[in-house]
Structure 1
Amino acid sequence: MKNKKALISMMAIAVLMTACSNNTGTKDGGQSSADSNVKVDPFKMPNPIEVTTFKSLSPGAKLPAGDTVESNQYMKYISEKTNINFKILWYAAPQDHEQKMKLAIASNDLPDVMLVNEQIFLALAEAGQIEDLSKVYERYASPLAKELYGSTNNKALEKATYKGKLMGIPNISVQADAASMVWVRKDWMDKLGLQPPKSIDDVTAIAKAFVEKDPDGNGKADTMGIAGYEKSLAVNGKAQRGDFKGIFQAFGAYPSGGVEGVSNWIKDSSGKVVYASITPETKQALSKLRDMYAAGAIDKEFALRKEPNENIVSGKSGIFFGPWWSGGLAADTMKLNPKADFVPYLIPDAKGTVNTMMVPVSTQFIVVKKGMKNPEAAMVYANTFINAQRKVDPDALKLDFSVSAEHWPIGNATFDFADAVERKSDMLKKAMGGQTKPEELSPEMKEMFDKATRDKAKPKADLKDWSGYYGYTAPADLLKQNMNKVYSEFTANTKTMERKWANLQKLEKETFFGIVMGEKPLEAFDKFVTDWKAQGGDEITKEVTEELTKSKK
């Protein structure tokens, strides 16, 4: 009996000692994330701490007089709200930042917290240089942060997970930015007796009519069909004004077009990951574009243009592809051409399905150096930054948001609802319909409601008002329909890509533009595929497959 009592006593002492050791906090005054029994504040460290970082900063990111990179409104806001004082070890322009960061990683000379792209995130996770933030997220993520991640169906958290552990705090991209709509001048269609487009063939027919039938009525052959520019042949995650993404996607094609920074990888019919530019669907789309170009439906000079806006604003072009927020370009056109009336449409494939290559749900990650004493500081910072960016903190409304967001302590990243545009569209509709009272709206939505109300009273009297809310009406309604949403399976780089990608991009760009503009036969696509594989493509495909397999183990 005595032995039993002694054993119980020893166990009790051991438990007590363990509890005490887990409740000591940290030297920097933060609460140890290992203590799961203590209630935490997701927005403030219990005592002031210093956190080091370095950041990317564009030369044009100006500050008000008297402010510095180290001391400005954003730095002060975070310090006052969170008890976190950021010390910037160094900053550099974007073109130099990545190289300096890679040197720091190679020498393991890392700051406490930093914002990195996916390639660097994966390299840090594989090398074991950053903290596992699984428990930090579980304990410290604010309700709003969790709600934002929930809107992605947790795809954002999956993106930041490496070998089953959450190794970073991912940003969240607005998914509406992916859809490429065809914007057509309805006033021209009405004048020529044309119906809205329902297929790529319809778009082609309308474009030809705009070129041949003098829709502006000036008696001159000076109008054109579809506006484009030098990057039109790339299917980027984010739709760009003047791209041909909507045309490619009508064929289920998602090529990179040889454009720097674009690399799309999809699953083929057998489930294997392939480079999207070498698929049969891409060849079909190029064939259609070739025919459209030959028929005069596409601006003959598109390959030489740096951007497509000039011909649209001047009233020469009546069609362009672009995202939901292209109302600003339409408004600029109306300033010079008051009768101009651009209306957006989504073009389906032959089976009636709208295909969309989506924006990567996350492209940037807040990471914490392995061994940092207060890893929870990263989540506390993220929670506070989200509250400010989404303007739910009243104090954030006092900030001057015209100051570049790059001056936030670790730089700028978007944290929003994945379906933010559709949500705001519904809110605006309810407010305009009287179902929601104006005083119940957030500051952002109240401003939008006011613009819509003024425009309703005097339509397009103030084009800033009109363009400030229009994207949340007809364009947003298009986004609410069912789509085949395709995500690129791989959005980072491999070792062989770093060495050979530039030459492969050049090969792709020259081939694609040559085919579309009639300088090369359509069969040149087959040779491109063969050459692409032989010149490093097969090796890169193997590496991509291995990387995807590795990150999921």
Structure 2
Amino acid sequence: MKKGKSLILLVLTAAFVSACTSQNPGASTNTGGNASAVPNEKVDQFKMPNPIEITTFKGVTAGAKLPEGDTAENNQYTRYIKDKTNISFKLLWYASGADYTQKLNLAVASNDIPDIMLVDEGTFLSLAAAGQLEDLSKVYEKYASPLTKELYNSTGNKAIEKATYKGKLMGIPNISVQADAMSFLWVRKDWMEKLGLQAPKSVDDIATIAKAFVEKDPDGNGKTDTIGLTGYDKAFENGGKASFHNFKGLFEAYNAYPTNWVKDSSGNVVYGSTLPETKQALGKLREMYAAGLIDKEFAILKNANPNVISGKSGLFFGPWWATGMIADTFTNNPKADFTPYLIMDAKGQKNNLMVPVSNRFIVVKKGMKHPEAAMIYANNFIAAQRKVDPDALKLDFSIDASYWPIGNATYDYADAVERKSEMLKKAMSGAMKPEELNPEMKDMYDKAMRDKANPRKDVKDWKGYWGYTVPAEVLKQNYNKVYSEYTAVTKTMERKWANLQKLETEAFFKIVMGDQPLDSFDKFVSDWKAQGGDEITKEVQNELKAASK
């Protein structure tokens, strides 16, 4: 990482303040869409020159509370945006959950959409294909703030590619933190050391450790009551984000990516659950389950955390931010010491299915008079969410973020965890002055220093920073990044996907638990294809081709 990167948030805070106070911030020679721009015109990337009103509708979190007197249309977030941008949002309607989805689908089908709104990927693609969206290509070039562009650059342009349809930027995409995808194998190091075990590198090593944890009384209570690898009733689901107790990390050791659309050996986009690599991984899980190395009750568990917290298990797959659950384990057993590992495939390579870099998009209705307003709104929202605008620090962020004018989505550096880790490391080593840290990092630094002086005396301090140390260093290792090629929903999926998912889940559980032979996987594949899978695969491939033209 370049030396200046560690100070990026501090620098961008100053850049933001300068951009807001300068008479001519964000100078550009590009013209911008329908933004009524002229060559060499200097624009304000954070505020419309005159007040305007924009229509929208949004989904809000069911049951989310607002302070007395505030409404979905008039609250601290809408007032903040109005003050910053000169934009008033007229809320045509709002709803929650399934009601929102139903009303949104009706609006899209009847081409009755507002000026600006925040939509999921499926809705984005439908609107783009129907020609209902404004091209924001030139608007982005001219109006995107330095911080906004810095965030998108951190994705290696993948976020902008996600929002591009037939060569045109048709939306302003969110940005997901990519570290959230990594599935670590968390192992109780104190148990490994007691039993003389080596750190795991392969799936066979997982089996070796699990066998020892089951048979050799690692907790020293004189009973054979410990279990091996944890699991739960959704252990085969893999949306990209790592979750506790699923088998994502083990599947990746076989280059298998079930429940995702990936390229096969011929370069065709296919459903990962139907590939030979998935069968191979299921075979290993079946073998481990039969040997008693996987929790026998995993298929009926809604939550396997208690097995870890109570000290019954010291082996689970989970995300980098597992420190909360581990801290609870410390409370019960102060000697518990978990360490994260990445598991390699047969070639010694580490693989990871990444989180979709973007899955929500700010879109503008085709023909809207001021499409630049969407970019101006996004710049301010991002500055507030990343807390680089000092005025944003006055907001009460405990109020549900769905009450922002068009709803909530994450806009962060794709490598945010690694960046914060570097800042913390430099501050703790003295290479960076603590007062140079932004408020979030200064708080993390203070917790780290208190914990360093009195290790684990306050587990709240420990869990508040530790994820940015050892786990973050593991994240910095070289690994093969795999992206799901398609994360939206096709027409046939809407009708048949629920049944196909049920078919898949039942087949996988029966194979792993020994109710069906491993070769029943082949019948699952043929049934999946016959019951709509082939049709859906063609739709996915056609949609990807259409979007790339």
Q: Deviations over 1:76-124 (max 9, x none)?
A: 1111111111121111112221211010111111111100001000000
Residue 449 of structure 1 aligns to which amino acid in structure 2?
A: Y
- In the alignment, which residue of structure 1 is the partner of 2:219? 216
CA shift for structure 1 position 357: 0.6
Question: Separation in 2 of the partners of 1:181 and 1:369?
Answer: 42
The structural deviation recorded for 1:32 is 3.5
Distance (whole Å) between structure 2 residues aligned to residue 267 and residue 36 of structure 1: 44
Corresponding residue for 2:280? 284
What SS does the corresponding residue of 1:225 show, helix, strand or coil? coil
Q: d(CA) in 2 for partners of 1:267 and 1:198?
A: 26
Deviations 1:464-484 (A, max 9, x none): 111111111111111111111
- Tell me the secondary structure at the aligned position of residue 228 of structure 2: strand
Q: CA deviation at 1:36?
A: 4.1
1:521 paired to 2:501? no
**What one-letter code is carried by the residue in structure 1 that aligns with 2:232?**
Y
1:312 Cα deviation after fit: 1.1
TM-score between the two structures when normalised by the length of structure 1: 0.92
Question: Is structure 2 residue 99 aligned with structure 1 residue 103?
Answer: no
Q: 2:123 aligns with which of 113, 120, 127?
A: 120
Report how far residue 172 of structure 1 moved: 0.5
What SS class does the counterpart of residue 64 from structure 2 fall into? Answer: coil
Q: Of 429, 449, 457, which aligns to 1:453? A: 449
Measured against aligned partners, the alpha-carbon deviations of 1:446-470 in whole angstroms (never above 9, x if no partner) come to 1111111111111111111111111
- What amino acid sits opposite 2:461 in the alignment? D
Q: Structure 1 residue 61: deviation in Å? A: 2.0
Q: Identify which of 74, 77, 88 aligns with 1:74.
A: 77
Q: Write out the 4+ residue segments of structure 1 that deviate beyond 6 Å after TM superposition.
A: none
Alignment match, 1:543: 539
Aligned residues of 1:422 and 1:480 also touching (Cα < 8 A): yes
Q: Tell me how far apart the structure 2 counterparts of residues 298 and 218 of structure 1 sit (CA, whole Å).
A: 21
Tell me, in whole angstroms, the C-alpha distance in 2 between the residues paired with 1:96 and 1:486: 34
Query: Could you give the per-residue CA deviations for residues 330-379 of structure 1, whole angstroms, max 9, x where no partner exists?
Result: 01111122111111111111111111111011000000111111111110
- In structure 1, the residue matched to 2:136 is 133
Listed one character per residue, the Cα deviations across residues 172-228 of structure 1 (whole Å, up to 9, x for unaligned) are 011111110001111111222212111111111111211111111112222111111
Could you say which residue in structure 1 is the equivalent of 2:380?
Answer: 384
Pick which of 194-203 and 426-435 moved more.
194-203
Which runs of 5 or more residues in structure 2 are unaligned? 1-33
Q: Secondary structure at the match of 1:317?
A: coil
**Which of 45, 69, 81 matches 2:48?**
45
Q: 1:416 aligns with which of 388, 412, 415?
A: 412
How many Å apart are 1:63 and its aligned residue?
2.0
The answer on 1:192 being equivalent to 2:195 is yes
Contact residue 235 and residue 248 of structure 1 kept, 8 A: no
Indicate yes or no: 2:474 matched with 1:471.
Answer: no
CA contact (8 A) 1:36 1:139 kept: no
Task: Say which of 221, 241, 246 aligns to 1:243.
Answer: 246
Letter paired with 1:187: D
Give the letter for the 1:481 counterpart: Q
Match for residue 324 of structure 1 among 302, 313, 320? 320
Q: Distance in 2 between matches of 1:36 and 1:116?
A: 32
Q: What SS does structure 1 have at the residue aligned with 2:345? A: coil
Distance, in Å, in 2 between the alignment partners of 1:128 and 1:235 is: 32
**Is contact 1:197-1:345 (8 Å) kept?**
yes
Query: Distance between the aligned counterparts of 2:306 and 2:405, measured in 1?
Result: 37
Q: Does the Cα contact within 8 Å between 2:504 and 2:524 map onto a contact in 1?
A: yes
**Which stretch has the larger CA shift, 34-43 or 162-171?**
34-43
Cα distance in 2 between the residues matched to 1:206 and 1:128: 56
Paired letter, 2:409: A
Q: Distance in 1 between matches of 2:302 and 2:525?
A: 28
Three-state SS of the structure 2 residue aligned to 1:401 is coil
Q: State the distance in 2 between where 1:308 and 1:396 align.
A: 38
Quick one: distance in 1 between partners of 2:301 and 2:468?
30
Amino acid across the alignment from 2:480: N
After TM superposition, list the pairs within 5 Å mapping 1:53-92 onto structure 2. Answer: 53-92=56-95
Q: What CA distance in whole angstroms lies between the structure 1 residues aligned with 2:283 and 2:389?
A: 53
The question of 1:489 aligning with 2:492 is answered no
Q: CA deviation at 1:381?
A: 0.6
What's 1:179 paired with?
182
8 Å CA contact 1:33–1:376 kept in 2: the answer is: no
Higher-Rg member (1/2): 1
1:57-88 deviation digits (Å, cap 9, x = unpaired):
12132223332222221111111111111121
Say whether residues 1:426 and 2:422 are aligned partners. Answer: yes
Corresponding residue of 1:142: 145
Task: After superposing the two structures, state which structure 1 stretch, 305-314 or 247-256, moved more.
Answer: 305-314
- Aligned counterparts of 1:211 and 1:340: Cα–Cα separation in 2: 17
Query: How many equivalent pairs are there?
Result: 516
1:509-534 alpha-carbon deviations (Å, 9 max, x no partner): 11000000111110110001111111
2:167 to 153, 160, 164: 164
Superposition pairs for residues 292-371 of structure 1, below 5 Å?
Answer: 292-371=288-367
Residues 169 and 379, structure 1, Cα contact 8 Å, conserved in 2: yes
The answer on whether the counterparts of 2:35 and 2:139 sit within 8 Å (CA) in structure 1 is: no
Output the amino acid matched with 2:162.
K
For residues 355 and 81 of structure 1, what CA distance do their matches in structure 2 show? 43
Matched, 1:274 2:270: yes
Query: Does the aligned pair in 2 maintain the 1:358–1:487 contact within 8 Å?
Result: yes
1:139 deviates by 0.8
Is residue 33–residue 136 contact of structure 1 (8 Å, CA) maintained in 2?
no
CA distance in 1, matches of 2:137, 2:81: 23
Q: Distance in 1 between matches of 2:170 and 2:63?
A: 32
Contact 2:61 2:400 in 1 (8 A): no
Which AA in structure 1 matches 2:335? K
Contact 1:33–1:135 (8 Å) recurs in 2: no
